[in-house]
Chain A
């Protein structure tokens, strides 16, 4: 049987999640031995026509052209996996969703009529059916490898949907919010980064997006007790996963 065909696609993004695949230095050649990397423009000028068995999609949808392109990608893909905060929630560039894009364009570009862009930055799932969403800004290398391995074995990937707090507890990291009074989004953020920020002595800033069923209003009360002002609360939720529904809504209540 021929190796399964893998395609990697990019929309509006920083390239960091695709890079995470190339950052699997110890596993890359092994992966290439088990998968036919049929389309990965950042890494190769060889392109094999679809259909593809697995498509990894990075980036968010921000232009009329990309709305069409993602539908073409879906049509050629047996399994479509969106990777990273841009693809799963619209990314940091979704901050435009709360502002006037014409004003943004005028601010950055001297001849705004050259720029074609949509008023919003939206996740892949807003446009096509997505088979799995891998969180993170950027995604975790370990979760990405687990996901590819699981798909090759046709099993469910082991990717937790619990809160960041569970990683701190498992690692024995003392709670930075309770012990040091640092604002932390850990209680409402999905685990997966490997307990990074708290173990470096700072609060979680939510780059893995909302956990399953988060209670953000309760956390906001706690954060307000720590002295956060409404604009600070709004900005804490409105960052790398600003347009993820739970963070979007909670951020707006402090606007």
Chain B
């Protein structure tokens, strides 16, 4: 039988360094590896002995695209360890800046990194040559996300105004209010992008995923809720390690997350949407319906639509929060450090991001554990690749390779996060 190898040595349009290797013997897929060769950075190890107050700033450096996910997970965990509760005003401001991160990260991925796959183009600059208005709208939307990060957090990459207990300085109400007209525009612009992208020719694909996300009955989850799934999981954040585990495989510098029974699961927009559809605003649900989506989306190639639906949600939610903004007084809650264990979990743009820290009586970190979304999605990405390669084995190598890369980009993998990630090779035998 002939061996066929599909290989990509350095994946493009992903954050960080990854590769893909697929080996086939006849019609059988023998091996699929989503390889993460981004070098390891050892965050958990060098946090040990540092002041817990440093954890939000240090862990934000895991990822330049989703720093808020790390900042907020670290804050939640240390605050739990020290018995600190933030005020509703601080919680609302945290939700507002997190909306900014969703808007900039999702728009960057959907329009600039993922859309070129559906248009047969290499990048957003090529899209701009054919559809300049589309790219200008997307850039304006992305900028809006960054503006929220800057107004609330001081800067878009690695914000400085966030801290354990809240914020260094409460943003000026005028600066918050000034964003409202653009947020109202953003919700409309995101809806227009969903409807435009809904016309893409989506490959037929899908499976019965285990969707894991935060679940909250009141509001679409960002910083709050229990950990839940479409298979009945319903646990508190403190029980994360009882149900999920990380294993180390030779082809990846990132640990791979699995359920305790060894099965793969999916985190991110598809999971959040399926588990929390009812809490989306009616206007956002209307966009999903108009784009032809049901309450559950199981075709991973349509994740681009769900991501943009979440951008619409994040714009509407940020506008609501901005209209209701009351500066927190004080801007942060102080508390003396104590020995303790704390857990934090939030919905990063790519899915749940879990933190666990132990502190000593002086507030130093004794142990740290960080589980980013891309680590958790790796086994599911490899299962998706096996399914997609099997279904598309008739394609010539170049087309199959493209389809494989697209399958990986469905997850908006953040490789920098995963190594706190990969290269494609397909061997056909």
Residue A117 lies at the interface, judged by CB distance under 8 Å to chain B: yes
Decide if B154 touches A43 in the complex (CB within 8 Å). Answer: no
Residue A191 lies at the interface, judged by CB distance under 8 Å to chain B: no
- Find B61's partner among A32, A40, A197, A240 (CB 8 Å cutoff): A240
Decide if B112 touches A43 in the complex (CB within 8 Å). Answer: yes
Decide if A25 touches B122 in the complex (CB within 8 Å). Answer: no
**Chain A contacts with B in 70-115, Cβ cutoff 8 A:** 91-93, 95-96, 99, 101, 103-105, 107-111, 114-115
Decide if A107 touches B44 in the complex (CB within 8 Å). Answer: yes
- Find B51's partner among A43, A101, A232 (CB 8 Å cutoff): A232
Decide if A197 touches B160 in the complex (CB within 8 Å). Answer: yes
Residue B146 lies at the interface, judged by CB distance under 8 Å to chain A: yes
- Find B146's partner among A14, A25, A32 (CB 8 Å cutoff): A25
Binary B-proximity of A3-42 (CB < 8 A = 1, otherwise 0)? 0000000111111111110110110110010000100111
**Chain B contacts with A in 226-247, Cβ cutoff 8 A:** 246-247
Residues of the B chain whose Cβ atoms lie less than 8 Å from the Cβ of A200? 154, 160-161, 168-169
- Pick the interface stretch among A49-57, A150-158, A201-209: A201-209
Query: Smallest Cβ distance from A206 to chain B, in angstroms?
Result: 11
Residues of the A chain whose Cβ atoms lie less than 8 Å from the Cβ of B248? 109-111, 114
Query: Smallest Cβ distance from A190 to chain B, in angstroms?
Result: 16
| A99-B154 in contact given A14-B61, A25-B142, A200-B169 (Cβ < 8 Å) | no
Query: Smallest Cβ distance from A134 to chain B, in angstroms?
Result: 14
Residue A63 lies at the interface, judged by CB distance under 8 Å to chain B: yes
Residue B13 lies at the interface, judged by CB distance under 8 Å to chain A: yes
- Pick the interface stretch among B33-41, B184-192, B383-391: B33-41
Name the residue of chain A whose CB is nearest to the CB of B15. A15
**A129–B45 CA distance with the chains assembled, in angstroms:** 32
**Count of A-B contacts judged by CB separation below 8 Å:** 176
Residue A44 lies at the interface, judged by CB distance under 8 Å to chain B: yes
Query: Smallest Cβ distance from B271 to chain A, in angstroms?
Result: 24
Decide if A201 touches B54 in the complex (CB within 8 Å). Answer: no
Decide if B44 touches A19 in the complex (CB within 8 Å). Answer: no
Query: Smallest Cβ distance from A208 to chain B, in angstroms?
Result: 12
Residues of the A chain whose Cβ atoms lie less than 8 Å from the Cβ of B154? 196-197, 199-200
Decide if A96 touches B42 in the complex (CB within 8 Å). Answer: yes
Residues of the B chain whose Cβ atoms lie less than 8 Å from the Cβ of A240? 61
- Find A29's partner among B39, B122, B135 (CB 8 Å cutoff): B135
Residue B16 lies at the interface, judged by CB distance under 8 Å to chain A: yes
Q: Which of B13, B64, B158, B405 has the most CB of A within 10 A?
A: B64
Decide if A19 touches B65 in the complex (CB within 8 Å). Answer: yes
Decide if B13 touches A43 in the complex (CB within 8 Å). Answer: yes
Decide if B142 touches A13 in the complex (CB within 8 Å). Answer: no
**A40–B126 CA distance with the chains assembled, in angstroms:** 14
Decide if B12 touches A93 in the complex (CB within 8 Å). Answer: no
Name the residue of chain B whose CB is nearest to the CB of A14. B64
- Find A105's partner among B42, B64, B250 (CB 8 Å cutoff): B42
**A-B contact list, 24 entries, CB within 8 Å:** A12-B38, A14-B62, A16-B157, A29-B139, A45-B122, A47-B12, A92-B46, A92-B58, A99-B46, A101-B42, A104-B45, A107-B48, A108-B40, A108-B43, A109-B248, A110-B246, A110-B255, A138-B158, A197-B160, A201-B168, A207-B158, A235-B50, A235-B54, A240-B61
